[in-house]
Each structure stands twice: as structure tokens, then as C-alpha cells.
Amino acid sequence: CRCNLGKDLGYRGGAQTQAMRLLALNSDLFKNRMFRRVRNEWVLPVHFKTCLLSLFQFPFGRRLPCDIYWHGVSFHDNDIFSGQVNKFPGMTEMVRKITLSRAVRTMQDLFPLEYNFYPRSWILPEEFPLFVAEVRMMKDSDPSWKPTFIVKPDGGCQGDGIYLIKDPSDIRLTGSIQSRPAVVQEYICKPLLVDKLKFDIRLYVLLKSLEPLEIYIAKDGLSRFCTEPYQEPTLKNLHQVFMHLTNYSLNIHSGNFIHSDSVNTGSKRTFSSILCRLSSRGADVKKLWSDIISLVIKTIIALTPELKVYYQSDIPAGKPGPTCFQILGFDILLMKNLKPMLLEVNANPSMRIEHEQELSPGVFENVPSPVDEEVKVAVIRDTLRLVDPHKKKRKDIQCQTLEQVSEASEELLAAGRADRADCEAGRGPEAGLPSLCLKQVFPKYAKQFNYLRLVDRVAALFIRFLGVKGTTKLGPTGFRTFIRNCKLSNSNFSMASVDILYIDITRRWNSTGIDHKESGMCLQAFVEAFFCLAQKKYKSLPLHEQVASLIDFCEYHLAALDEKRLVCGRGIVERRSAVVPCQTDGLHLTPAAHTPLPNRTATASKFADYRNHRY
Ligand code: ADP
């Protein structure tokens, strides 16, 4: 199996860093004798029998197709036609603070209770008046409410540009905020403290596949501590970053920062060590884990609709292309009552397992960080195990695969012999490996969460009408066709009103300045229009039922239309050259060709197949 580290893909900076990062990781893994260098290749022959992975470097450009492409920053390579890439198209954009807040808010509109793990947020500058009005209203209804807010610049990281405020009037609206949009969020004032310090959790999540949805969560994560004892925010302490912000990159500059030489002390610890401590205090750790799993699944459900739009645009269905997987970093804060709250999702979580130490003034050295190593090596190892392209083949042809891969070198042959011995002894190539640290949570718990996947189904409608491959925005004709094919227009809702709805919503979304590259209606605008239509049609129901009913209605009509086209297509084949008055591409059948609608049961069963998100 060939694995490309991205170095040859024309990436600068990030990709190089990632390649270096992985090599740094490798060099550490050499100590564990997991990776070894054989001529030009890095191999994992002994402790990694499941993968027999060769990491090729192509300093003069990649010529051979690879099984796994390990990109540094984002998915962007038009020359990949097979294999697996470690990034999803559009993921970096999706987890930016504003986009994530928007995606979660859509879900909060539909399922407010299920999505109460994300602090109330407003987008600046456009929602500043709304922010002021809502805060005033909440203060009026509860005068004892003394909130604090945290302002975070969009696209910022490592605590960059973040500040706390007590009142909307404290927002720095002049200068940078105008040019740099931000999210303002309710500040969680009562976090859980350990040793009187605030801390957050970094959990690693593997999104192994988008369709069908497959999610894995690492059993252990990192806990990153503040370096000043926590006090609830007051006007006096608002600016004390070492007390309020848990970022490693900030706290490392505090004189109180303690580099851990074990996994349960210092300013960065394993999450499992915190859980042990909580458990010994009698906390319900099982419930906490199940709340965290639910937070992760729900967040990914909020992200998938737009990710699917990006995916079909970069990797159109029916054309050769790679499949994708991605390691995400989830930042979670525990409240005093142990409720986990989502802070943010990172598309490029750091995989460094070393930290810098100042030996003498100005002289730095990279030293191993046992806590990072404990958590991150397992995440990388298991990701490679799960995406191992030989795994499936091995299942089919068992030990035969070893004959082929072991040709690479003497070392690999030795490994192959060891594996063959394992196979012969009935132990299998995974024998002797640590058990997986990545645990599957979806589809394992799909039954509990599938009802939340409404926007996914709206996105499927959107993608169907996008028309031209490679676009992410719907034109006015596509929108009209959607309305017509789903039979949403009637005497109360004329096609002229459809056009007005399209123009109104599209103009507003395009004026938010998020994406000027393409004109047309983005998915979020389509979702807003869809909600609007649902509210119009099913007045008295709660929003999620209105939306679900409208989706059912649209899917029913589209399934019926597909059925008609199928019948029409059969007619064409049967009558060969006969002229059939049947139009495709969303136009109605002419009355002459109008076959009676198939009975409702037949259509409904086809329609059940079509709704592939409802199990
Ligand atoms: P960045 O990407 O810059 O790290 P984050 O959203 O992770 O931005 O915020 C930085 C830090 O601020 C977090 O690690 C956390 O300690 C703190 N923080 C962020 N949002 C909140 C919040 N709503 N309530 C309390 N603390 C928060």
C-alpha cells in the first residue's frame, strides 16, 4: 500500500509541515520500532502488521497513483482518481466559526433541545442589532441575569483576537471587526474545575465516510489546562487570558505552565486521567461519555449536508475520484454539572507529539511529550488500520496478499514471514496489535440519531436540482424546476412568487459576503426557502414536523416522476424507434404520454429506497 504524504502535491507550507510532522512522528515511532526505513520507503513491518504501509516520498513529483494521500491542509488536487484522501473537500470552510455556528443554528431551529450543547451565538457584524435586541429582551425578562460574552474572530485559532465582554456595547465595532467577521457567544461562566483550574477537552474523531455516514471517536483525548486559578468573570478579570482561555498556545507562555512528564499531572493531561478522578469522586462517567458521543454525532449531522454539496462539486458522482476520510479535533468544555458543551471543531488538529523546551535563553529543543504521544500515536495508527486498503482484500483472499506486498524488500519479506506465521497459527494479521482506540459510534447508534437528519434530505433535493456538475449554487431555473417537479406551486403560490422568494433569499445570503465566487442560491439559502415553504404549507405543526412533511411530499412527487420516466424509458426501448412524447430533465410528461400514476404502494416502496437516510 502506497501512502503519499502530500509533499509532492505542489503544496507549500502546511503540507510540508504536515509531512514534517508525520516524519517527526515517524522518527518517534522508530523508537518503538514501528516504522523503519528501507531504502527509499518508510515501512511499518512489525508492530503494524495490519497495514504493511510504505510511505513513499516523491521529491520530484508523484507519478504513481497512491492508496492513501495524506494532505496537510485541505483537499485540493484534481489529479487524484482513486485511493483515499485524508481530507474532505470543504471541511476547512465548514468548521470556521461562522459556518459552524450557522450549521448548528439551523439544527437548533429544528431541534432546540437536542442541540443545546452549543452556546447561543450571533454573527458579527450582520447580527449585531439582533444581538443587542435579544440580550436586552432576556435581561428584561430576567433582571438577575448577568451574562458574559466571548467574541471570537472568524477563521481565528489559538485564541487569536478573542476577548470577553459584559455588555453588547463593549464590542469593538470599529476597525478590525468590520473587516474581520466574528462570532459572539454566551460565555460559559461555570465550567468544571480540576485543581481550581479551567480546562477543556480535545477529542479526536475520525469521519471515515460521508455516504454512508461512518464516525469513530478516540477513547482517550487531551485535557488542556489554564494556568491561573479560575474565577467567574468580573470586569476586573475579563482580560486575564491565563484564567479564561484554555489554549495551549497561550498558556505555554505563562510562568505557571507545567510540561507533563506523566499523563495525569501538569498543564496537559489525558482525558482518561480526568475521568478516573471524576469517577473516584462518584461522578457518572458513563453518562458523560454518552453525552459526548451524542454531541459529536449531532455536530457531524449538522455539518454533513453542506459537506455533501462540496463533495459532489469536487468529486462528481460517476467520475473516477478518491474517497475521503478525515481526523477532526473536537474542543469541548465541561460545565460544572458535567454537561459537555461544544467550543469548536478543528479540521487540522495538531498531531505533534513533541514540545519545545528552552534549554538556555534563545536555545530551544524539541522534547517528546508523553501525553501527546499516548493519545495521538494511537489515533494515527488506528486511522491507518481503519482505512487500510488491503484490509478488505485480505478478508477475501486472506493470507495471499502478503505474498504480493512482501516483495518490496528483505525487511518486508521478514515481516511477511512473520505475518504468514501468524496466519498459519490462526492469529491473523491484527494479532498482537493493541485494541483499536477508535470506537465506531455511527452507524452503531444510527437508530437514535437518524430522525435528526432532515437537512441531509433537504440537501439531497438541492443537489438533485443543481444541474451543472461542479457547482455549489442553485440557479433560478433550477429552483423553478424544483418547485414545479415537487408540485409546490398552486393558485396561492404562483411562479412569480417563487421567483420573488428566490431573489429575496438569495440576495440576502449573497450579501453576507461569505462566498462571492459563484452566483446563485447556496444550500443555506435553499434551506431557509425550504423552511419558509414548509411553514406556509403545514401551518400548525412544530417546525421540524413541517419540514419533515414537506420533505416527504417532495420525495413522493420526485419518486413518482422517476417512475414515470422509467416507464417512459421502457416504452422507448420496447418501441425502439417510435417517437415517444416524453420530456426529461424535470419537465412534465405531455398528456399524450401520460401513463396513469403507479399505485401508491409501489411508488411508496420506491420512495422508501430513495429516502436512503431514513432507516
Ligand atoms: P480558538 O480557535 O481561537 O482556540 P476557541 O473557540 O477554541 O477559539 O476558544 C478559545 C478558548 O476560549 C477555548 O479553548 C476556551 O477555553 C475558551 N472559550 C471559547 N468559547 C467559550 C465559551 N463559550 N465559554 C467559555 N469559554 C470559552
Tens of pLDDT, residues 355-384: 877 777 778 788 888 899 889 989 988 998
Which pLDDT value is given to residue 402?
37
- Does the C-beta of 227 come closer than 6 Å to ligand 1? no
Whole-angstrom distance, CA of residue 443 vs CA of residue 208? 11
Query: What is the per-residue pLDDT for 46?
Result: 33
**Segment holding 151, helix H or strand E:** strand 149-153
More confident residue, 585 or 460: 460
**Model pTM score:** 0.82
Could you tell me which residues come within 8 angstroms of residue 203 by beta carbon, excluding any fewer than 6 positions away? 217, 218, 221, 271, 292, 296, 329, 330, 332
Whether the per-residue pLDDT at 233 is higher than 90: the answer is yes
Residue 340: what are its φ and ψ, rounded to 5°? -80, 135
| DSSP structural state of residue 490 | B
Mean pLDDT of the 493-512 span: 91
Q: Is the CB of 250 under 6 A from ligand 1?
A: no
The rounded Å distance from CA 352 to ligand 1 centre is: 21
331 lines ligand 1 (CB under 6 A): yes
Residue located nearest, by CA, to atom 22 of ligand 1: 187
**Distance (Å, rounded) from C-alpha 10 to C-alpha 47?**
32
Under a CB-based contact definition with an 8 Å cutoff, are residues 562 and 573 in contact? no
Answer for the pair 128, 380: CB distance below 8 angstroms, yes or no.
Answer: no
Q: Which atom of ligand 1 is nearest to the CA of 188?
A: 24
Distance 466 CA to ligand 1 centre (A): 37
Alpha-carbon distances of 325 from 91, 142, 384, rounded to whole Å = 11, 46, 10
Q: How much distance in Å is there from the Cα of 159 to the middle of ligand 1?
A: 7
* Banded model confidence at residue 54, pLDDT cuts 50, 70, 90: low
Ligand 1: distance of its center to the CA of 441 in Å? Answer: 26
CA atoms within 13 A on the CB side of 185: 25
Whether 404 shows a pLDDT value over 50: the answer reads no
Phi, psi of 243 (to 5 degrees): -100, -35
Lowest mean pLDDT segment, chosen from 132-136, 174-178, 327-331, 359-363? 174-178
Cβ–ligand 1 contact at 304 (below 6 Å): no
Q: What mean pLDDT value characterizes the chain?
A: 79
- Between the two ends of the chain, the Cα-to-Cα distance in Å is 35
Closest atom of ligand 1 to 187 CA is: 24
> 50 CB under 6 A from ligand 1?
no
Whether the CB-CB separation of 263 and 187 falls below 8 Å is answered with: no
Q: What is the pLDDT of residue 118?
A: 98
Assess whether the C-beta atom of 101 lies below 6 angstroms from ligand 1.
no
Q: 3-class SS at 403?
A: helix
- Judge if the beta carbon of residue 188 lies within 6 A of ligand 1: yes
Q: Is residue 85 pLDDT above 50, yes or no?
A: yes
Any atom of ligand 1 within 6 Å of the Cβ of 332: no
CB 123 within 8 A of CB 103: no
Residue 229 has pLDDT above 60, yes or no: yes
Ligand 1 pocket residue status of 147, Cβ below 6 Å = no
Long-range contacts of 473-479 (CB under 8 A, 24+ apart): 473/518, 473/519, 473/520, 473/521, 473/522, 474/520, 474/521, 474/526, 475/520, 475/521, 476/502, 476/503, 476/520, 479/521, 479/526, 479/529
Q: For position 8, what pLDDT does the model report?
A: 29
Report residue 56's pLDDT band, with 50, 70 and 90 as the boundaries. Answer: low
- Whose alpha carbon is nearest atom 27 of ligand 1? 187
Distance from C-alpha of 220 to C-alpha of 465, rounded to nearest angstrom = 42
β-partners of residue 222 are 202, 270
Stretch 249-278: mean pLDDT:
89
Q: Is the pLDDT of residue 195 over 50?
A: yes
Instruction: Label residue 83 by pLDDT band (50, 70, 90).
Output: confident
Measured by CA distance, the residue closest to atom 20 of ligand 1 is 343
- Assess whether pLDDT exceeds 60 at residue 445: yes
Angle ∠(594,600,605) on CA atoms, nearest 5: 115
Residue 300 confidence (pLDDT) above 90: yes
> Measured in angstroms, how far is the CA atom of residue 262 from the centroid of ligand 1?
26
Higher-pLDDT residue of 124, 83: 124
- Quickly state the pLDDT bin for 172 (edges 50, 70, 90): confident
> Which of the residue ranges 126-130, 228-232, 395-399, 481-485 would you say has the lowest mean pLDDT?
395-399
Nearest CA to ligand 1 atom 14: 246
Q: Residues 441-468, buried b or exposed e (16+ Cβ, 10 A)?
A: bbeeebeebbebbbbbbbbbbbbebbee
Q: Which of 103, 106, 108 is nearest to 90 (CA)?
A: 103
Q: What is the pLDDT of residue 591?
A: 30
- DSSP readout, 156-194? --TTTT-EEESSGGGS-TTTHHHHS-EEEEE---SB-EE
Q: What is the largest CA-CA distance in the chain?
A: 89
pLDDT at residue 82, as a whole number: 79
Which range scores top for mean pLDDT: 260-264, 443-447, 510-514?
443-447
Cα–Cα distance measured from residue 529 to residue 106, given in angstroms and rounded to the nearest whole number: 12
**Residue 393 pLDDT:** 59
Burial of 109 (0-12, 13-18, 19+ CB in 10 A): middle
Distance CA 68, CA 4 (A): 6
